[in-house]
Structure 1
């Protein structure tokens, strides 16, 4: 009688009532405890299914190979041979493992070296891109160069000249439009409407001439047209990259992205896509002609686009990255906020540097007064607004708000300058008769972008979470 598991005579034999097989009791109980089955048939088996077989205890005979010294020596020799063979196999496996480990370490080291080389090449490429220049003669006394030798098309120059002539004659004497907001009106502004989070992470906000459609965008590569009266997004625009700025040009929405693209949308459909910048587009500006748009970027250049023909007409390179941009109300000058801590003024028609205004840090926001005499500028992490007198090329006033400023917007009449930041917004008022500044409004509504509504009777803001807030008379 042999155990079905060990093949040897069992010391305590038991038999399965299901299969009839004989087992060593300790072996079958251990197997049942682990598997719960008969090891031979695979049937379910429990300890209750085992019956102990009563047999007389017998002394197990010594194997015949261990009955003499020569036999024992032979067994020892066989055991030694088996041990030597096992040791040899272990050494062989160890050598192979060491070789595989050495190869893996070499491959890892090679991969690290490749990654380091590629990282270095990437950094060098980025540095070269930041220092990009064009090997052509620069205008004398200027810090810019024009890429295309032909300059602006005559049709564009003619539009710029006619716009400048028309606006420069009438702007300073233009009366305040009927129904425009007064200081008392702005003092009563309160948050009257708040949207759900629209496009988190964005820093762009543009309001059309009606004051009802707000153009906003976010980090997810989507922009939208939000209707203030309806309180919802009425158009969704696929930009394809994090939105960095957006402007209205009539009924067309122009949106810039961190991928270097500038896209034009009309009635919700993309009608033009410009990729002139070699890097992030940081800001957009609308020319007073109403059909020319400028974009600036981290590649130290600005580009002008003619939307009547949907083509870029010139690209001008400077010496520093550009963070913000605004056209002078006459349209003959373009102000650029530089990462070098200066406001650079360019002649739009020639692309030559016309002037520069030193600031204390990178310039992050710009705004021109509608009368064309003043320029407001804000530097990175600043709590004050520097108001420059363009006629005298010096600072006319430092407006201290006490809170960090990230955005500026001057109203159409040149009376009210709204500033926004993470801790709230303020409105500064310039009174022409007394040449004095006052502060009719201070609100705790956080903002990364601000814009005036129709007739300055409302202020629209958007914060870092993409929430759009309207401040107006309650």
Structure 2
């Protein structure tokens, strides 16, 4: 088998191997590189000329040297220039790769900053509108206590919270609520999916059921409330995804993208497309307007996919697998760009923080892992009690809190990752958790057939 120089990609005349990287080089080229840089060009570790190991190759009978004419001298000069060009090209490739990574990090930071600015601008506008409404009444209305406009901490630091309970949203004959979502534009409306094969839209302010969505032939395991329309999306082990019109309680689109039970569901930030995963080892990207399957990609590991969620920018997304892997995918390239190992057992839930920097993951190993997407590494692990079954993770809209639904419901303060509150009112495992507007209340569902809201008076 021929040896090739790792720099020039040519068969070396005097091959040597680097003990730090194991790569083969032409002796004269690598010696020049070491004299100039003092490191191995492959891994950047310190390397000296005397550390190089010569490789013994079969002797080759060389032709007689040419006479001392201008042609050999020219060839030797061209060889030296070629060696220098190879060294320069190799260094440029390394610098280009580093620049690409730094640019990617900078773009994600810019995107996160734009999101924060947009959210703060929206909140300031809402506060100004509220102030303008109150000004005409200032002369005749007695002073009222000022309510917290921003995120409320009271529910997490005091024990005098109130708990509202509803247990008639789903059938008692097949008990259990499996999934939960809140309408992002109207936080009074909550959506639940049940073991009874139905999805229910409930208004917490009027305490009335708005719609009961019937059509799935098996339990409803994933639900999404559209942020801009009175539309919901549901998924089921019956291999289908349904798009519903809430006012009419009718199915508008049925997506048959998978050949197995649908396990994960996430809406693209544009609101026009949905990502889904299944035990058929594929993820699918579909148009919820036309019902068109736009692309379907299989996981190269050949295992079932268990969950999915889009990154807030919509360019990448994450999936969980049956064999404990968390994978990050590039939507445009349809390729797996990063893997996060470390869990034991099937991945049960993943959640991206709104700032785009953090990813929380959970599996059947009773721990929550936090990942920094800028550095692609695990920086914090929250270990829960042995046997704790984590069903869902959820960041609030500001990225300040992380909620865990499982054996009970817990809330953690991000950055410090300190447990702020534990709610154990459910009599069975909690299956879903969501934050209300400005995190002023928390909603949770459970296999005990109840929907519970925790808030302050």
Q: TM-score range by the shorter chain?
A: 0.5 to 0.7
Task: Classify 1:170/1:181 alpha carbon distance in 2 versus 1 (closer, same or farther; 3 Å).
Answer: same
2:421 aligned with 1:441: yes
SS at match of 2:275: strand
**8 Å contact 2:348–2:390 — kept in the other structure?**
no
Instruction: Choose from 332, 353, 356 the match for 1:372.
Output: 356
In the alignment, the residues of structure 2 paired with residue 383 and residue 232 of structure 1 have an alpha-carbon distance, to the nearest angstrom, of: 36
Matches within 5 A, 1:46-85: none
2:393 aligned with 1:408: yes
For 1:211, the equivalent position in structure 2 comes to 187
In the alignment, the residues of structure 1 paired with residue 333 and residue 176 of structure 2 have an alpha-carbon distance, to the nearest angstrom, of: 37
**8 Å contact 2:264–2:308 — kept in the other structure?**
yes
SS at match of 1:171: helix
Matches within 5 A, 1:46-445: 167-168=111-112, 170-171=114-115, 177=123, 179-188=149-158, 190-199=161-170, 200-209=175-184, 210-240=186-216, 241-249=218-226, 250=228, 251-266=230-245, 267=247, 268-318=249-299, 319-358=302-341, 359-380=343-364, 382-402=365-385, 403-422=388-407, 424-430=408-414, 435-445=415-425
In the alignment, the residues of structure 2 paired with residue 239 and residue 257 of structure 1 have an alpha-carbon distance, to the nearest angstrom, of: 10
Task: Classify 1:442/1:174 alpha carbon distance in 2 versus 1 (closer, same or farther; 3 Å).
Answer: farther
In the alignment, the residues of structure 2 paired with residue 265 and residue 175 of structure 1 have an alpha-carbon distance, to the nearest angstrom, of: 28
**8 Å contact 1:323–1:338 — kept in the other structure?**
yes
Q: Show structure 2 runs of 5+ residues with no match.
A: 1-107, 125-148
**8 Å contact 2:177–2:449 — kept in the other structure?**
yes
Question: Could you say which structure has the greater relative contact order, defined with CA pairs below 8 angstroms and 6 or more residues apart?
Answer: 1
- TM-superposed deviation, 1:357: 0.4
For 1:450, the equivalent position in structure 2 comes to 433
In the alignment, the residues of structure 2 paired with residue 370 and residue 425 of structure 1 have an alpha-carbon distance, to the nearest angstrom, of: 21
In the alignment, the residues of structure 2 paired with residue 220 and residue 384 of structure 1 have an alpha-carbon distance, to the nearest angstrom, of: 30
For 1:31, the equivalent position in structure 2 comes to none
Task: Classify 1:165/1:253 alpha carbon distance in 2 versus 1 (closer, same or farther; 3 Å).
Answer: farther
For 2:131, the equivalent position in structure 1 comes to none
What is the alpha-carbon root mean square deviation over aligned residues?
2.2
TM-score of the pair, normalised by structure 2? 0.63
**8 Å contact 1:401–1:426 — kept in the other structure?**
no
In the alignment, the residues of structure 2 paired with residue 386 and residue 168 of structure 1 have an alpha-carbon distance, to the nearest angstrom, of: 21
**8 Å contact 1:197–1:465 — kept in the other structure?**
no
SS at match of 1:440: strand
Q: How many residues align?
A: 306
TM-score of the pair, normalised by structure 1? 0.61
SS at match of 1:418: strand
Q: Show structure 1 runs of 5+ residues with no match.
A: 1-163
In the alignment, the residues of structure 1 paired with residue 242 and residue 379 of structure 2 have an alpha-carbon distance, to the nearest angstrom, of: 38
**8 Å contact 1:429–1:438 — kept in the other structure?**
yes
In the alignment, the residues of structure 2 paired with residue 175 and residue 256 of structure 1 have an alpha-carbon distance, to the nearest angstrom, of: 30
SS at match of 1:243: coil
